[in-house]
Structure 1
Amino acid sequence: MSDPILGMVMLGSFILIVLLGFPVAFTLMAMGVGFGYLSLEARVFDLLVQRTYAVMANDVLISVPLFVFMGYVIERANILDRLFHALQLASRNLPGALAVATLLTCALFATATGIVGAVVTLMGLLAYPAMLRAGYDARLASGITCAGGCLGILIPPSIMFILYGATAGVSVVKLYAAAFIPGFLLAGLYMVYTIGLATLRPSMAPKLPAHMATASGAQVVWALLTSFFPLAALIAAVLGAILAGLATPSEAAAMGSLGAILLALAYRALTFAKLKESVFLTARTTAMVCWLFIGAYVFTSVFGWLGGHHVIETWIVEHLNLSSLGFMILAQVVIFLLGWPLEWSEIVLIFVPIFLPLLDNFGIDPIFFGVLVGLNLQTSFMTPPVAMAAYYLKGVAPPQVRIQQIFAGCLPFVGIVILSMTLLYVFPHLALWLPDYLYGTAALPAGEPVDAIPEGGFRVDDLVPALPSFD
């Protein structure tokens, strides 16, 4: 069997085994080592050791545990209920005020945490029952909670862009700048849809109770000062330091973690038990990400060595004869479909690198492509049959709410995501204007780490000089 055929068998076997329910990270390593041994023999173990060390020594990934820790501390500081109440009061005169407050809370809290499961679960416990008690349609309430909770994948500081930046070898700072406008555009479209629906069909989103609708201006200001502004200031400081080039993502994440601890102390919500739990959850999440990275390094390196990338590149470029638009549609459709059985981290680390070497052929900016991927990954959490956000919500929803109602509520928001992707492709400056304005096409912002991974993903032939046994 020739090496390219072996590479395609390797890719197909991996997809089949993952669909059977085996752990993705260890399946990646097993497939990489197993198929690599058929071609490289014992030298594949040198590759495994080197790639494991490269992950642990990668400076770009330091920000992952720091941002995760920041999110878990904020999550356990009991800020969410204060924030939700304050935003209800602030939006009390809008149609569907409770839904708008839910989306605003989700957007801000998702920005602070970036952990989809945590945001959907917490809002499912806090905002979702409140909407149902207020007479909201269960489908609309479900869609709002799920869609809002997924915004943390896209809105900076997103962990997804850290992994994409390390994979594609592009600046995380520029990715954050590029995602800023599209992220809040998507959140804005969610709110426009919700307000419009509440205006046209008020029975689906009734008004707030009278005692909240008549709150005084002083009450609203005090509620915002004690909940919204402290968290917003922390997020603005972290993002501002990154976008202004004053700190790398890792440095800003460290300061954000410290700020989260101080904020929790100010709210008298930080206990040793909560701090211990935050550290444990951070270690668990970071370990998962690192093992995925190691598995992806090994798998894609062996896949590239076997010629799998070349087979796909030849098929797309020469046989399909796609235009730039055709390639973008194909790539996004594949990523959309992969979102059914796979998590976003697995898609970014395993399958996105297959498309990265083709971007130059079609003249596509990898930063622009990364933002499109970030938008697309919103759908992976909301599209049946494997819509993880829906299952997170079902786990905490009242028993009378059926999973079919949650799926039905998510589908209009999936359509809004597709609309956002279309707008972004038609108006690419929505993503490219801010990084071009702030940084131009020159060097990376001050303190930004150099590219850790060769552009186009991981290939063993890129690593050959570093492995003496390959000489």
Structure 2
Amino acid sequence: MMSDAALGLTQLLLFLFFILLGFPIAFTLMAMGLFFGYLGMGDRVFDLLIQRTYAVMSSDVLISVPLFVFMGYVIERANILDRLFRALQMASGNIPGSLAVATLATCALFATATGIVGAVVTLMGLLAFPAMLRAGYDVKLASGVICAGGCLGILIPPSIMLILYGATAGVSVVQLYAAAFIPGLTLAGLYIAYAIGIAIVKPEVAPRLPPDAVAVPFGKILWALLTSFLPLALLIAMVLGAILLGLATPSEAAAMGSLGSILLAITYRAFTFGKLKESVFLTARTSAMVCWLFVGSYIFSSVFGYLGGQGVVEEFVKSLPLNTFTFMLLAQAIIFVLGWPLEWTEIIVIFVPIFLPLLDNFGVDPLFFGVLIALNLQTSFLSPPVAMAAFYLKGVAPKHVRIEDIFRGCMPFIFIVVFTMLMVYIFPAIVTWLPETLYGGQSGPPAVQMDAPPSGGFQEEEMPELPPLQ
């Protein structure tokens, strides 16, 4: 008969095995949790299922997820991205690598409106990728620009990933948004700097546009920016500003952003009942996936902790000769490697909770740790063999574009992500300055305290007794 700890470790290994076979994540988590929970605690595991499902579905933290997702889908289907790209393309016409710069700037701004990586990569693949290829851009550079730019939504607020991390780690989502804001802009800026630099050093990979293409009157450029860039920028500034300044909770700001996206679509005469219906359907599907993923992860992690698997991992890590730096290096290296076969959702809900109880032992702030993870997870969409951003782009790219070329194009941007992580670790003020300036030592402004998750988030290390259902 296996010990409880051995059962817990077997549970984790079997989960990885089934995920690599392609089984659905949420239901695999629930199945593994219920099966091994029944072996370890008997019928009580079904009480656990009911209690944890209710806890997730009644969580205030997750209310903002469907609202932000809806906001993104409405903006996506209102053809605002097309207007935005054209305006930024005209504005950056005289800059080396102007199409790449316009693409990255569009992705960065659109990432703040929707954290849906697949949507941004697909739309920019249809819009900007053909434009860059027609202009003579190298396939690898054009591919890397779109894939890397499309992944910025994981990091730049209002990121869905940061909401899920906040719920998992028991960290204020408001502070996470404040902490990730400057690193997100820094990463986007480094992407743009690389695009300009490579266009100067190797002009053959990013040719300048012909004179007639950049000879646009200033008045036309200004009008394009006022009608395309400014409205979306104002909407995003109002949503994020309301959150960061404590004028509204993330859920309230997301509701305001959803209404604003509908008004913006109406203003652009791109609002129809069919598009609204499609946005609602896609929002419901995405939100259901997120909620069931949390239900599964909550059950899985609770059973894993009850069986002693979490304790075995903790004792093993504590037995290693690690200091704060080497622990952070080990944790980020593991997450980086896990990003090759797994998606960010699996990493956040399954593997990040394993590290969270260890942070106090090494004096690591979970807020700082979360931003590093958000940076690191950029690579999970860019690094093969999974590299979902590459496959999203391949799905809409011309037939002559090979997946190998897209992978090669992503590599320089992976190095930029790693460099940014190094900068953040050496200069932690990049992460801590804004939340400390806005909130001091508090967990967020008074108006947003209600959206901060309870201490400990959704994880439990021990569960010796289950209280009776009420």
TM range (shorter): over 0.9
Deviation at 1:185, TM superposition (A): 0.2
Aligned pairs (5 A) from 1:286-305: 286-305=287-306
SS at match of 1:381: helix
Task: For 2:464 and 2:263, locate their aligned partners in 1 and report how far apart those are by CA, in whole Å.
Answer: 44
Q: Which residue matches 2:200?
A: 199
Q: Which residue matches 2:360?
A: 360
| Amino acid in structure 2 at the alignment position of 1:283 | A
Q: Which residue matches 1:248?
A: 249
Task: For 1:137 and 1:32, locate their aligned partners in 2 and report how far apart those are by CA, in whole Å.
Answer: 48
**Residue deviations 1:41-92 (CA, integer Å, cap 9, x gap):** 0000000000001111001100000000000000000111111111011111
Q: Which residue matches 1:435?
A: 435
Deviation at 1:281, TM superposition (A): 0.2
Task: For 1:40 and 1:55, locate their aligned partners in 2 and report how far apart those are by CA, in whole Å.
Answer: 22
**Residue deviations 1:292-338 (CA, integer Å, cap 9, x gap):** 000000000000011111111100012x1211111111111111111
Aligned pairs (5 A) from 1:88-127: 88-127=89-128
Q: Which residue matches 2:259?
A: 258
Q: Which residue matches 1:165?
A: 166
Contact 1:167 1:453 in 2 (8 A): no
Aligned pairs (5 A) from 1:409-420: 409-420=409-420
Contact 1:354 1:457 in 2 (8 A): no
**Unpaired stretches in structure 2, ≥5 consecutive residues:** none
Deviation at 1:463, TM superposition (A): 8.3
Aligned pairs (5 A) from 1:352-431: 352-431=352-431
**Unpaired stretches in structure 1, ≥5 consecutive residues:** none
Contact 1:356 1:455 in 2 (8 A): no
Deviation at 1:450, TM superposition (A): 6.0
Q: Which residue matches 2:83?
A: 82
The more displaced of 244-253 and 336-345 is: 336-345
Aligned pairs (5 A) from 1:266-285: 266-285=267-286
Task: For 2:95 and 2:464, locate their aligned partners in 1 and report how far apart those are by CA, in whole Å.
Answer: 58
Deviation at 1:462, TM superposition (A): 5.3
Structure 2 residue 55 is the aligned partner of structure 1 residue 59 = no
| Amino acid in structure 2 at the alignment position of 1:52 | T
Structure 2 residue 33 is the aligned partner of structure 1 residue 32 = yes
Contact 1:114 1:153 in 2 (8 A): yes
SS at match of 2:448: coil
| Amino acid in structure 2 at the alignment position of 1:407 | F
Q: Which runs of 4+ in 1 moved over 4 A?
A: none
SS at match of 2:401: coil
Percent identical: 69
| Amino acid in structure 2 at the alignment position of 1:198 | A
Task: For 2:464 and 2:150, locate their aligned partners in 1 and report how far apart those are by CA, in whole Å.
Answer: 39
SS at match of 1:444: coil
Deviation at 1:407, TM superposition (A): 0.3
State the number of aligned residues.
Answer: 468
Task: For 1:179 and 1:190, locate their aligned partners in 2 and report how far apart those are by CA, in whole Å.
Answer: 17
Q: Which residue matches 2:151?
A: 150
**Residue deviations 1:6-52 (CA, integer Å, cap 9, x gap):** 11111111111111111110010000000001111000000000000
**Residue deviations 1:148-167 (CA, integer Å, cap 9, x gap):** 00000000010101000010
Q: TM-score, normalised by structure 1?
A: 0.97
Q: TM-score, normalised by structure 2?
A: 0.98
The more displaced of 452-461 and 210-219 is: 452-461
SS at match of 1:167: helix
| Amino acid in structure 1 at the alignment position of 2:255 | A
Contact 1:357 1:456 in 2 (8 A): no
| Amino acid in structure 1 at the alignment position of 2:363 | G
Contact 1:357 1:457 in 2 (8 A): no
Contact 1:14 1:27 in 2 (8 A): yes
